[in-house]
A and B are shown apart, each in its own frame.
Chain A
Amino acid sequence: MLRGARAASARAVGEDPALAVHRRQLAEIDDLAVRGLLPEGEVRTARAEAGRRLLAAADAPVAALDPGSGRRVVLAVAVLAPLLALGLYFTIGAPGRPDLPYKARLDEWRKTPESLDPPRIAAVMRAIVAQRPGDPEGFENLAAAELASGDPMAASAALRRAIALAPGRAELWAALGETFMVEGDGRIGPDARAAFGEALGLDPRSLSARYFLARADIADGKVEQGLAGWRALVASLPADAPARAALSSEIDAVARAGGLPPAEAAPAQPDEAAIRGMVEGLAARLATQPDDPQGWVQLVRAWSVLGETGKRDAALAEARARYKNNPDVLRALNEAAR
């Protein structure tokens, strides 16, 4: 601004540029005339007119200018403008508030996984699977986190990626079927049916697939067929499995009512019996394939949610012993047991 003021003072004394424009127009008319691009008659009238304009402009009064003064005004404005800006900024801005780029937040979250809510866990898991795109476990955990944060669509997408990486695992298909159910507000639609069917094809003992396929039959009106499926499921459960009693009473209720009770016809979540079934399945899997920290954490959390303190403590003790050298897992286990 100050430089502009000085430069302008320096060149203030000069002639009116309008004169130059008019002179230039005259020259252009001549130029076109020489090149023969303007007819003879037009050249004469155009010249005459442009000439008149030039004379009129030259006669215009020139206002008196004062090239020197105003320095103090400029200085005052140069000081006042930033001050005004500063004042405005303090009323509308958030002085000193740092930027929060996503990457930095993500790094922060990854340092404290146990204190995160499901959407943040999902965000961390997304970053992890982006780094390890070939790891089906990562996608499986991501799916669980997405489902917990209320985004079944993202969960099913993650499960599909997991299935593409590990096509032989029945529990992934079963989880996909359950995700489809959540997406469909509890209804077991064709997508969910197909997924449970795949699970059953891979593992005929899959608890959740058998449970939900039979349930779908009942919902479709094929009550007898569905009940038969459930009865077979009960028979295959160990005698002391808590899910057994829950399912038995559900079978009785359906048999009495001749169909699913209306309120429960569309449960938003799989009911407790089903959850128990899944948790038992998880416990069984960990008994044979124990090297799965995430699985242990899930199991401990599940027992704790179901109020099975005894089973929770047993699982916790076994997992603690197994991962006594891994503080991250220990922290997650303690968190899950709460």
Chain B
Amino acid sequence: MTAELGAFALVLALALSLAQAVLGFAGVRRPALAGAGEGAAAAAFIGVAGAFAAVVTAFVTSDFSLANVAAHSHTAKPLLYKVSAAWGSHEGSMLFWCMILTGYGAAVAVFGRGLPARLKSRVLGVQGLLGVLFLAYTVFASNPLARLAEVPVEGRSLNPLLQDPALAFHPPMLYLGYVGFSVVFSFAVAALIEGRVDAAWARWVRPWTLAAWSMLTLGITLGAFWAYYELGWGGWWGWDPVENASFMPWLVGTALLHSAIVTEKRGALSGWTVFLALAAFTFSMLGAFLVRSGVLTSVHAFAVDPSRGVLLLSILGLSSGAAFSLFAWRAPALSPGGVFAPASRESLIVINNILLTAATATVLLGTLYPLITEAFGTTTSVGAPYFNLTFVPLLCLALLVLPLGPLTAWKRGDIAGAADRLKIAAGLAVLGGVAAFGIVSPRKALASAGLALGFWLIAGSLAEVVERVRAFRAPWPEVRRRLTGLPRGAWGMTLAHAGMGVMVLGACFETSWKVEAAEALPVGGQLRLGAYELTLKDVGTIDGTNYLAERGQVTVTRGGRTVCAMTPERRFYPAGRQNTSEVALCNRGLDQVYVVLGERRAGPAGEPAWLVRGYFNPWVQLIFLGPVLMALGGLLSLSDRRLRFAVGKTA
């Protein structure tokens, strides 16, 4: 009965979300109703969580009477992937989406004690409406608890590419981010209804934005890491439509994070902040539509169904359409807030916002352009060259200006003074770039400039701390007092900005100086990879839990000295008749040697040989370390005691 109880819990959650929406809006004037709305929000979450638990149970016990389990599981699958398959399918991930959506609603209800009653009631009302839309979609168009009349003997198993630890945890993170923006969206709609967007509102919104942004950062990073080592193509970002779909909410979220600070500190930019708050969740929903509708072909798109796509597009149009109409109607009435001079931190944040928004627009265009041309009968694909020419320069400009911001005062600042205080950082960055140009071969001017940009971000972020604590100028006890006095929010900002620099260093170095080699090697054959030699010592077969594999023994030597013994695999999953490659990685400081075992073919003398591909990826670890630092910065800011007041942390 577990499955049927879950199915009932799911429709109950739908009914409760409806109750939450009604009570939330009715409760603006009648506190009793508002209180009941809070209860409904918490109960809706419990309902969805119950349904989700039922789905996980069905996956763990391999109950193939559930269509979703039959399509995505298999008795031979390891337990972790039985559990993670619960959110690995379209239906299951929609349920997961709803669970997080109602979870955030419940978190507002439970932790939002310090919110003004009317704002809170409206926020829960809007969140309830979103819940109704997505739960109705899940219940009627993508029910993960739907039963099969004919129960198959065995399941069809999960796509083996998704049977990977990084990918087991990538969707939860990503969804915590995507759906986290729904709270921000609800806050924005509630504020528009109320007609009041002020500093206090911005502060209430900030923790939710920070939480969502940090989770999204981690989620995208895990996804990039998975693409890097599971797909076996040596890269980590391919401007794939699905990657872009997750990247656009991140860019808008980043802009929102900054503009909300202006609203919080100065009461300014309130209309713009609300606009971004609506846009962030709109892009999240756009991403969900793109991935699930079948309009895009992508490595990580779900198995798709156009009718579902139309429904998702309707949800997107309905919610965002209503919200933006409300915005157009109410925004002119919003108070303009504090004024600021052209040279001020506000202005620099406005520049950051303009550049980030423009960058989002280029990504959006690049993602949708193939769809637009396809509608007119021609197929085009938009790839890295487009993004290198549009997105990258915009981002470089934004990053170039970045270190000036924290050093410029609010309202009326002194940009020349800020630049003056960044002299040493600029000097270090130029020195780093020149050193890279001189030392790293082959010589690459543009890439060296990119490294200088990375150093500039790191040194600039540190320079701000140095400046604030008067290091090297004040006596040590004074510096220490200031260091310990710095709020966590400031440390979080520094960490996030420096993390961006770390990521830029890694991305520039890896992209420009990676070495690649591939050859069909017989046992004993050797492949040269930059300064390393790869030797295929042996290839054996192994019997995995739910796959068969050929496992190569590859020794990596450098100048005759063995540095690594690697075991790349080529796996065959009989359940889905699919081959995957299991990349072997060898860490060398910040660099990695990356080896893929390809298919077997006949060597030059007819002996069996295997296609071995090797990559030397210098500084690649920084690409993943940087975003982790950024997310940690976000979480550190979230833990700032100043934010804990009024709104607690998310569940």
Whether B548 is near chain A, meaning CB under 8 Å from some CB there, is yes
Residues of chain A contacted by B2 (CB below 8 angstroms)? 99
State in angstroms the CA–CA spacing of A64 and B28 once bound together. 10
8 Å CB contact of A16 from B116, B140, B646:
B116
Check A9/B203 contact, CB under 8 A, given A37-B482, A84-B18, A99-B61: no
16 inter-chain pairs at a CB distance below 8 angstroms, sorted by A residue, are A2-B36, A3-B39, A4-B35, A4-B37, A4-B42, A21-B204, A37-B486, A45-B410, A46-B265, A64-B29, A65-B29, A69-B30, A81-B40, A100-B151, A103-B62, A119-B154
State in angstroms the CA–CA spacing of A105 and B140 once bound together. 29
Query: Is the beta-carbon distance between A24 and B645 smaller than 8 angstroms?
Result: yes
B:168-224 near A, CB below 8 Å:
196, 198-200, 203-204
State in angstroms the CA–CA spacing of A28 and B577 once bound together. 62
Nearest neighbor of B47 in chain A, beta-carbon distance: A85
Residues of chain A contacted by B37 (CB below 8 angstroms)? 1, 4
8 Å CB contact of A35 from B36, B482, B577:
B482
Query: Is the beta-carbon distance between A20 and B32 smaller than 8 angstroms?
Result: no
Whether A67 is near chain B, meaning CB under 8 Å from some CB there, is yes
Chain B positions near chain A (C-beta within 8 angstroms) = 1-4, 7-8, 11-12, 14-16, 18-19, 22-23, 26-27, 29-40, 42-43, 58, 61-65, 75, 109, 114-118, 139-140, 143, 145-147, 151, 153-154, 196, 198-200, 203-204, 265-267, 338, 409-411, 468, 481-482, 485-487, 543, 548, 574, 577, 642, 645-646
State in angstroms the CA–CA spacing of A41 and B200 once bound together. 24
6 cross-chain pairs, A with B, having the tightest CB-CB distances, nearest first:
A8-B35, A1-B39, A4-B39, A101-B61, A102-B62, A12-B31
8 Å CB contact of B468 from A37, A60, A73:
A37
> Which stretch, A89-97, A195-203, A223-231, touches the partner chain B?
A89-97
Whether A66 is near chain B, meaning CB under 8 Å from some CB there, is yes
Nearest neighbor of A154 in chain B, beta-carbon distance: B574
Query: Is the beta-carbon distance between A63 and B118 smaller than 8 angstroms?
Result: yes
Given contacts A4-B35, A22-B200, A102-B64, 5 further A-B contacts (CB under 8 A): A4-B40, A8-B38, A60-B196, A92-B7, A101-B63
Query: Is the beta-carbon distance between B199 and A39 smaller than 8 angstroms?
Result: no
Query: Is the beta-carbon distance between A18 and B198 smaller than 8 angstroms?
Result: yes
Q: In the assembled complex, how far is the CB of residue B336 from the closest CB belonging to chain A, in whole angstroms?
A: 13
Whether A98 is near chain B, meaning CB under 8 Å from some CB there, is yes
Nearest neighbor of A94 in chain B, beta-carbon distance: B147
Query: Is the beta-carbon distance between B31 and A65 smaller than 8 angstroms?
Result: yes
State in angstroms the CA–CA spacing of A95 and B3 once bound together. 10
Q: Beta-carbon contacts of A7-45 to B below 8 Å, as 1s and 0s?
A: 111011000111011101100100010011101011001
Query: Is the beta-carbon distance between A53 and B19 smaller than 8 angstroms?
Result: no
Check A74/B15 contact, CB under 8 A, given A18-B200, A123-B153: no
A:47-92 near B, CB below 8 Å:
49-50, 53, 56-57, 60, 63-71, 73-74, 77-78, 80-82, 84-86, 88-89, 92
Most buried by A among B1, B117, B118, B645: B117
Residues of chain A contacted by B26 (CB below 8 angstroms)? 70, 73
Residues of chain B contacted by A80 (CB below 8 angstroms)? 15, 19
Query: Is the beta-carbon distance between A93 and B11 smaller than 8 angstroms?
Result: yes
State in angstroms the CA–CA spacing of A245 and B2 once bound together. 61
Query: Is the beta-carbon distance between B14 and A99 smaller than 8 angstroms?
Result: no
State in angstroms the CA–CA spacing of A314 and B546 once bound together. 43
State in angstroms the CA–CA spacing of A46 and B338 once bound together. 11
8 Å CB contact of A77 from B11, B22, B199, B481:
B22
8 Å CB contact of A2 from B39, B63, B482:
B39
Residues of chain A contacted by B11 (CB below 8 angstroms)? 85, 88-89, 92-93
8 Å CB contact of B12 from A60, A77, A81:
A81
Query: Is the beta-carbon distance between B1 and A99 smaller than 8 angstroms?
Result: yes
Residues of chain A contacted by B16 (CB below 8 angstroms)? 81, 85
Nearest neighbor of A118 in chain B, beta-carbon distance: B153
8 Å CB contact of A49 from B338, B548, B574:
B338
State in angstroms the CA–CA spacing of A5 and B37 once bound together. 8
Query: Is the beta-carbon distance between B32 and A68 smaller than 8 angstroms?
Result: yes
Q: In the assembled complex, how far is the CB of residue B285 from the closest CB belonging to chain A, in whole angstroms?
A: 24
Whether A320 is near chain B, meaning CB under 8 Å from some CB there, is no
Nearest neighbor of B140 in chain A, beta-carbon distance: A92
Whether A274 is near chain B, meaning CB under 8 Å from some CB there, is no
Q: In the assembled complex, how far is the CB of residue B165 from the closest CB belonging to chain A, in whole angstroms?
A: 24
